[in-house]
Structure 1
Amino acid sequence: MKFSDFNLRHLRAASAIGRLGSISAAAQAIHISQPAITQGLAKLEAMLGQPLFERRTDGMVATEAGRIFIPRIETALAHIISPRVTMTQLRALIALTDAGSYAAASNTTGLAQPSLHRAVGDLSVALKRKLVERRGKGVALTEQGKRTARRFRLARAELEAGLSELAVLLGHETGLITIGAMPLSRARVLPAAVAAFHRDQPDVAVNIVEGAFHELIEPLRDGDIDLMIGAMRAPSPGPDVAQQPLFDDRPAVIGRKGHPALSSETSLENLAKYPWIIPTSGTPLRAGWEAMFDKLSVPLPQVPIECGSVITIRQILIESDFLTLLSPDQVAVELEAGWLVKIANIPEGYTRNIGVTTRAEWRPTAMQAKFLTVLKEISKAG
């Protein structure tokens, strides 16, 4: 089943039962009749294929499935905030946000455009806030709309995680881990970790989304990415984000085979005479590169090309006298083939902290936690 199959009223009823311990108390708390709550719970459990509660004379006690799924429901509802929101409205706003227009949202969801318009309009009324505004011939989300869409996406992520955990109880070792891969992670650590994890959990899907930090951080915050791997940021990107270190990486100065810098002393003063290709300002590597020259009062070299793509950098280095700063792991094949060479080691102390970035309140599923364990073991092994 999909998260969109849920009825939010049924989820609110289950949450209230779990919190209060009885149907009668839940009915009173959320202002729904006992027969309606009983019927809603029965439909929910039938959809899930397992009971969430054990019916006893002294009340309702959560089963193992309930102990797993009820906290996910509570977190999802906390993101949604208002009890007036329906699943149709939630789904419509997410679709509009993802697609960028009602027409495109209609194509992706199969819902008619009038239905999407009505759902988003009713949602604005229910929340008492303007979510969408006209921009020329199109529409755009307001700031309140963007914040609401983020909350809804996080709610979706919680419900999907709960479904994955319940599937394990039924003997289905399935699920999905979506990983944001920053440049350095793709060289060695991530491929090794994914390969090792897949050998142990072949039925769990792994989706790898490549990109730079600024391209991945917002999807992480939205719940579309579970974790990011790459150079950690200092200071932290914000209180809603948590970073866990994996290992330290020490880059080296890389250039082509036969580079003229090899025929002279490889001091920073001499290396500064050549053009460099370095990632743009704001990245840890660029900051470390600048600090390296600044500490020795060496004027920064020319940077005619700013680039963070290892594939592009590699080809430019092979065909020119450019220099760059990269982890040897990122160009291991080129170094082994002799196309590129390590021109010089950088001074001690200039390292990058490579780690895992997650949402601060993220609770990994069992499968996601297993992947993190494998990732940490691979990182320690070097």
Structure 2
Amino acid sequence: MGRINFDLQELQAFVAVADRSSFSQAAEDLFLSQPALSRRIDKLEETLGVKLFERTTRRVQLTNVGRVFLANVRTALDELEGAILGVSDLAAHRTGIVTLACVPTAVRYFLPDVLRGFSERFPKIRVRIHDESAQDVLNLVLAGEADFGINFAGSEDPEIDFLPIYREDYVLAMRPEHPLAKRKKLSWKETAKERHISVSRSSGNRSLIDNALAGIEKHPAVFYEVNHVSGILALVEAGMGVAAVPRLSLPQHPGAPVIGVPLVNPPVYRTLGLIRKRGRVTPPAAQTLFSMLQQALITGKGSPS
């Protein structure tokens, strides 16, 4: 390819379409007509000499080359924004942006206090948070689209540095009036006759439980499967059965419609960790937030009571 000849608007158009997976929605976001947006994408593809999107009447999706290019463009745009805001300010942690990927549990219980302190110290630094599933968080960190992550997955990935910070036990979720609700703890064998609700077999939560129960003679029977823990809790609240869930997924307020009893024999738990792509240099502002989270979570200041 010869001299690079495209402008910032074309890159912004590309990111908008990639984020929305839709030309019409991206055009609305950018206050453009759809033909004008299409011309920008066409020009960018022509300049690069590659197709960035596969387009059908039903959907728009990135090509393999487009996915790689997207990660690079996001990085370039963030770096450009930092340069515009001022190199000296960015180096001094006075302006900039940090991109963090984390599971929803972290957003609810671990992030608020630390982000509040971070914002008080560095009020002009913006934080972009991707609250996604464990696998999506891992993928964002591996792709370089997030500076670091808070996740339950990644400890066995050779490309990931995993710093464990919190251990979360699994409990049996049920309605407060359930006959087992007054128990202090329950063995898995004691739950075998209950109607269990579970996430699908593709879920990391399901794999963790199945592996832990591999040596149990009689497994609990799963009567209902859903894709997310929030769906499990909705069915438990409706009285459809019980479910093994991470403790922090339960509502924490008094009088909650779902309660949890610790599970033993065997106990099942998952470990939350700060994750970074191995060998990747963390930008200064992101490193500061990473260190603050590490300190707060290890000392318990950022953990749920």
**Fold match (TM-score > 0.5):** yes
Match of 1:351 among 258, 266, 269: 269
Aligned AA for 2:17?
A: L
Aligned AA for 1:353?
A: T
Cross-structure match for 1:252 = 171
Structure 1 segment 221-240 matched on structure 2, within 5 A? 225-233=146-154, 235-236=156-157, 239=159
1:277 aligns to 2:193 (yes or no): no
Q: CA deviation at 1:304?
A: 0.8
Cross-structure match for 2:52 = 131
Counterparts in 2 of 1:196 and 1:138: CA distance versus 1, 3 Å:
closer
Cross-structure match for 2:241 = 322
CA distance in 2, matches of 1:342, 1:138: 42
Does the aligned pair in 2 maintain the 1:242–1:357 contact within 8 Å?
A: yes
CA distance in 1, matches of 2:109, 2:168: 12
Does the aligned pair in 2 maintain the 1:249–1:354 contact within 8 Å?
A: yes
Aligned AA for 2:179?
A: P
Q: CA deviation at 1:368?
A: 1.8
Q: CA deviation at 1:209?
A: 3.5
CA distance in 1, matches of 2:20, 2:256: 46
Counterparts in 2 of 1:84 and 1:325: CA distance versus 1, 3 Å:
same
1:155 aligns to 2:76 (yes or no): yes
DSSP-derived class of the 1:86 partner: coil
Which blocks of at least 5 consecutive residues in structure 1 are unaligned?
Answer: 1-80
Greater alpha carbon shift after TM alignment, 370-379 vs 166-175:
166-175
Cross-structure match for 1:70 = none
DSSP-derived class of the 2:250 partner: helix
DSSP-derived class of the 2:222 partner: coil
CA distance in 1, matches of 2:197, 2:288: 38
Structure with bigger RCO (C-alpha 8 Å, 6+ apart): 2
Which string of whole-angstrom CA distances, capped at 9 and with x for unpartnered residues, describes residues 223-262 of structure 1? 55443322124642x74x5543323222222322232235
Structure 1 segment 1-382 matched on structure 2, within 5 A? 84-88=4-8, 89-110=10-31, 116-136=37-57, 141-161=62-82, 166=87, 168=89, 173-217=94-138, 220=141, 225-233=146-154, 235-236=156-157, 239=159, 242-262=161-181, 266-310=186-230, 312-320=231-239, 322-331=241-250, 333-334=252-253, 336-337=254-255, 339-347=257-265, 350-360=268-278, 362-382=280-300
Q: CA deviation at 1:99?
A: 4.1
DSSP-derived class of the 2:293 partner: helix
Whichever structure has more strand as a proportion of its residues is: 2
Which blocks of at least 5 consecutive residues in structure 2 are unaligned?
Answer: 301-305
DSSP-derived class of the 1:90 partner: helix
Q: CA deviation at 1:110?
A: 4.6
CA distance in 2, matches of 1:121, 1:357: 37
Q: CA deviation at 1:355?
A: 1.4
Q: CA deviation at 1:84?
A: 2.2
Q: CA deviation at 1:162?
A: 5.1
Q: Which protein shows a greater Rg?
A: 1
Counterparts in 2 of 1:263 and 1:107: CA distance versus 1, 3 Å:
closer
Q: TM-score, normalised by structure 2?
A: 0.76
Which string of whole-angstrom CA distances, capped at 9 and with x for unpartnered residues, describes residues 260-294 of structure 1? 23578933222021122333323332122112332
Does the aligned pair in 1 maintain the 2:171–2:263 contact within 8 Å?
A: yes
State the Cα RMSD in Å: 3.7
DSSP-derived class of the 1:325 partner: strand
Does the aligned pair in 1 maintain the 2:197–2:243 contact within 8 Å?
A: yes
Q: CA deviation at 1:222?
A: 5.9
Greater alpha carbon shift after TM alignment, 195-204 vs 163-172:
163-172
Pairs aligned (count): 298
Whichever structure has more helix as a proportion of its residues is: 1
CA distance in 2, matches of 1:332, 1:364: 35
Does the aligned pair in 2 maintain the 1:220–1:358 contact within 8 Å?
A: yes
Aligned AA for 1:285?
A: N
DSSP-derived class of the 2:16 partner: helix
Does the aligned pair in 1 maintain the 2:20–2:26 contact within 8 Å?
A: yes
CA distance in 2, matches of 1:280, 1:161: 42
Aligned AA for 2:109?
A: R
